[in-house]
């Protein structure tokens, strides 16, 4: 299973040619995708009614990974490492990475600037 970051979904949604997107390339070899509950929130919080229909239908086919105690403990560890290195990232990204690590999932993202800072995170590029 691959955890999809918000950036991958936004690229897919906005692209006129869906075959040029990272999600399309991933879906050629995989069909088991998930998102974190944070990505669910990020996607749906800014939708208008038309976009909401699209995303609600799309997300029916995607597993949503909770931000649970195991994820929280991983996020605390990542936060302390990044803070000590003065390399902090957005909390939503930190929580998404923690969910991926704690659930042993690879993360598909276009936001390498932030996610590359996190040790033990397997990133699909």
In this predicted model, what pLDDT tens digit does every residue of 70-92 receive, in sequence order?
Answer: 999 999 999 999 999 999 999 99
Q: Tell me how far apart the alpha carbons of residues 43 and 53 are, in angstroms, rounded to a whole number.
A: 12
Q: Is the pLDDT of residue 98 over 90?
A: yes
Domains and CATH numbers, the chain: 2-124 (3.40.50.1010)
CB contact set of 11 (below 8 Å; sequence gap of 6+): 21, 22, 23, 110
Q: Is the pLDDT of residue 31 over 90?
A: no
The residue written with tokens 């749906």 in the block is 44
Please give the average per-residue pLDDT across 62-70, as a whole number.
Answer: 96
Q: Tell me how far apart the alpha carbons of residues 56 and 31 are, in angstroms, rounded to a whole number.
A: 18
Please give the average per-residue pLDDT across 16-44, as a whole number.
Answer: 95
Q: What is the pTM of this model?
A: 0.93
Please give the average per-residue pLDDT across 2-27, as a whole number.
Answer: 96
């Amino acid at each position: 299973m691959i955890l999809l970051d918000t950036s991958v979904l936004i690229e897919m949604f906005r692209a006129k040619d869906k075959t040029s997107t990272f999600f399309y390339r991933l879906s050629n070899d995989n069909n088991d995708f998930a998102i974190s509950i944070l990505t669910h929130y990020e996607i749906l919080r800014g939708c208008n009614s038309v976009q909401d229909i699209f995303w609600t239908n799309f997300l029916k086919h995607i597993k949503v990974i909770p931000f649970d105690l195991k994820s929280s403990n991983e996020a605390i560890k990542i936060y302390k490492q990044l803070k000590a290195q003065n390399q902090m990232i957005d909390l939503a990204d930190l929580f998404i990475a923690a969910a991926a690590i704690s659930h042993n999932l690879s993360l598909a993202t276009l936001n390498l600037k932030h996610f590359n800072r996190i040790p033990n995170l397997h990133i699909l590029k």
